[in-house]
Amino acid sequence: MLWLTNASLKAELSARRQEQQETYVPKPLDLSEYKTRKLYIDSMLNDAGWIEGKNWLNEVELPGMPNKSEVGYADYVLYDDTHKPLAVIEAKRTCVDVAKGRQQADILCESDRRVHSL
List the one residue out of 33, 39, 47, 4 whose CA is nearest residue 91: 33
Looking at residue 31, its amino acid is: L
56-63/71-79 β-pairing: antiparallel
Sign of the torsion angle spanned by Cα atoms 36, 37, 38, 40: positive
Burial readout 5-14 (b: 16 or more C-beta within 10 A, e: otherwise)? eeeeeeeeee
pLDDT at 98 over 70: no
- The whole-number average pLDDT for the span 88-107 is 72
In the structure, what pLDDT confidence band is assigned to residue 43 with cuts at 50, 70 and 90?
very high
* Tens digit of each residue's pLDDT (9 = 90 or more) over 59-69: 998 887 777 88
